[in-house]
Amino acid sequence: MELVEVKKLQVELDAFAKKDVYLHLETTNGSYATHFNEGFFNAGAFIRNVVINYELGKVVGDSPHRVGLKLPHGWVYAQGITHYELDEQGRLLLAGHDGTGKLAVALQISETPFSY
Amino acid sequence: MAIEKERQVLVVFPHPDDEAFGVSGTIATHILQGTPVTYACLTLGEMGRNLGNPPFATRESLPNVRKKELLGSAEAMGLTDLRMMGLRDKTVEFEDDEKMVKMMADLIEELNPSLIITFYPNLSVHPDHEATARAVVRAVRRMKDRPKLHCVAFANETLEVLGHPDIVHDVTAVRDQKMNAMKAHISQTSWMLEEMELKLSQGDKEAENWLTKERFYNYRWDEDFEESF
């Protein structure tokens, strides 16, 4: 993974627009957040291998960045994105790593389904 | 307390590295005593948050990294019967409960263990740990001749609820093997090990104690976590 450069990432996002693509989106504080900090309200969400087709994808802001995908009838967005990679299978993997390196958010797009 | 000789041990945990910190010394000891040990690991820890700093793995490459680490840990413990059960990290509790019980019952039927090691229900923090514990306890509850069931509990309220552990194994003799099992899971354990090795090098008694003593609770059937399933 490398740090997001807005112009380079924008080119990658454009390349997946107007195609049926598989989406992986997650936000997480980790399952131990409330164990280490009992008052912590642990919330997160996860979706994997749902097909979307976005007409416009944008990366905005200074790091950590926001990334939004405009759909014909709705939206997908993620905030806290710091890193990205176009992997060897041609999948666009975006991630937000906190100051200690732990993953906090992931937004991934692929023309083929992600594994289970 | 000496580790009793068993006929067959079955260890069931959901994540690669769940075995390393609290149980790898016990596993290595059973294997040295000539007892066959099977480790059923339900997921590959696909949802781990430690991907390196700076990141060396991605959400998609992590399972393969952790699979190799799990194989390395098994090797360090001398364990040859490792079962990777193919579930996905953080989804175990959403699987069909009866399917989970059957997965455990099938393992038990095949292996006929005299001892099963897993987590303690309601005291094991992570939802996957809890779901694993429930499935194992349910499968064992249905048996006529129940094997011993040793459970790991580490929720903050453990001492209040269960008191002190009734089984404490001294694993000093296999300290190096245990250290190597923990090191095998380096993607998830590096910062923790760094801290621990510093404490150990300073002669910190608590850290040494934590490393060389493994603690379990016999499952309390008279205080079963549910009436029936």
Summarize pLDDT for B136-153 with one digit per residue, the tens.
999 999 999 999 999 999
Q: Which residue of A has its CA nearest to B63?
A: A115
**Contact check, Cβ <8 Å, A103/B128:** no
A88 touches chain B (CB under 8 A): no
The predicted pLDDT at position B14 comes to 98
**Contact check, Cβ <8 Å, B58/A116:** no
Residue B1 lies in a domain: no
Summarize pLDDT for A56-84 with one digit per residue, the tens.
999 999 999 999 999 999 999 999 999 99
Dihedral sign (CA A110, A112, A115, A116): positive
Alpha-carbon B90 to chain mean position: 16
Domain of residue B37, CATH code: 3.40.50.10320
Distance CA B131, CA B87 (A): 12
| Chain B nearest C-alpha distance from A43 (Å) | 13
Alpha-carbon A112 to chain mean position: 16
- Pairing label, strands A56-60, B9-13: unpaired
* Whether the Cβ atoms of residue B58 and residue A1 lie closer than 8 Å to each other: yes
The predicted pLDDT at position A31 comes to 87
Which range marks the domain in which residue B17 is found? 9-220
**Contact check, Cβ <8 Å, A30/B51:** no
In which band, very low, low, confident or very high, does the pLDDT at B6 lie, cut at 50, 70 and 90? very high
The token pair that represents B171 in the structure block: 């694993």
Residue B229 lies in a domain: no
The predicted pLDDT at position B120 comes to 98
The token pair that represents B82 in the structure block: 């490792």
**Contact check, Cβ <8 Å, B47/A95:** no
The predicted pLDDT at position B197 comes to 93
**pLDDT of residue B1 exceeding 90:** no
Mean pLDDT of all residues in chain A? 96
Residue B228 lies in a domain: no
Chain A residues inside the 8 Å CB shell of B63: 115
Chain A residues inside the 8 Å CB shell of B52: 101
Report ipTM (2 d.p.): 0.92
Q: Which residue of A has its CA nearest to B91?
A: A46
Complete domains list, chain A, with CATH: 2-26+37-105 (2.70.180.10)
**pLDDT of residue A103 exceeding 80:** yes
Buried b (16+ CB within 10 A) or exposed e, B18-27: bbbbbbbbbb
CA angle A12, A17, A18 (to 5 degrees): 160
DSSP A18-51: TS-EEEEEEE---TTHHHHSTT-----EEEEEEE
Distance CA A102, CA B60 (A): 15
Distance CA B201, CA B18 (A): 24
Distance CA B124, CA A30 (A): 15
The predicted pLDDT at position B39 comes to 98
Chain B residues inside the 8 Å CB shell of A97: 51, 53, 55
Residue B3 lies in a domain: no
**pLDDT of residue B42 exceeding 90:** yes
**pLDDT of residue B59 exceeding 90:** yes
Residue B225 lies in a domain: no
Distance CA A68, CA B72 (A): 40
Residue B226 lies in a domain: no
Kindly report the pTM of this predicted structure: 0.95
Residue B4 lies in a domain: no
Provide the number of structural domains found in chain B. Answer: 1
